[in-house]
């Protein structure tokens, strides 16, 4: 699922469940960083499309980078969006949790869809998740989780008076 908002569907559901203990902005930033390697391969025509960045080991490294850079980027974005209200501060545990959920879910979802993903590299070179569900069903699950998560998020926000 390179370069699509499809990964954001599960992220929205996680945001609805974890609320302030999860940053959807850092999760989204992680999705972008995860797909830099495939973008470079698509542009240059050289390399492994879903290489090291699409392993749990590579995803862990990307998660650390995403948490450190994403915390500051997300806080800047939230400050701009706050329009004079008290800006939101993202604590480090939330930044790291959001980035690791983002990278691991990205590896797992792409492992289901793409044959060339080796999620457990270098321990296993076999993709244990490929074909777990059809690509069509995977896209539907991501879309529906996003729609359900969005509705749930606003329902919880409304019920707790945070809107």
pLDDT tens, position by position, 107-140 = 999 999 999 999 999 999 999 999 999 999 999 9
CB 39 within 8 A of CB 3: yes
Q: Where are the domains of the chain?
A: 5-160
Q: Which of 51, 29, 26 is nearest to 107 (CA)?
A: 51
pTM score: 0.92
């Amino acid at each position: 699922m390179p370069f699509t908002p499809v990964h954001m569907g599960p992220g929205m559901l996680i945001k609805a469940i974890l609320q302030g203990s999860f940053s959807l902005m850092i999760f989204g930033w992680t999705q972008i960083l995860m797909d830099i390697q495939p973008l470079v391969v698509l542009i240059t025509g050289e390399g492994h499309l879903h290489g090291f960045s699409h392993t749990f080991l590579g995803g862990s490294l990307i998660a650390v980078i995403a948490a450190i850079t994403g915390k500051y980027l997300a806080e800047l974005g939230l400050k701009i969006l706050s329009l004079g209200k008290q800006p939101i501060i993202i604590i480090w545990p939330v930044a790291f949790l959001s980035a690791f959920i983002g990278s691991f879910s990205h590896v797992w979802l792409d492992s289901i869809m793409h044959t060339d993903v080796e999620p457990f590299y270098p321990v296993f070179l076999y993709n244990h998740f490929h074909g777990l569900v059809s690509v069509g069903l995977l896209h539907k699950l991501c879309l529906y989780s996003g729609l359900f998560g969005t509705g749930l998020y606003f329902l919880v926000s409304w019920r707790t008076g945070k809107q």
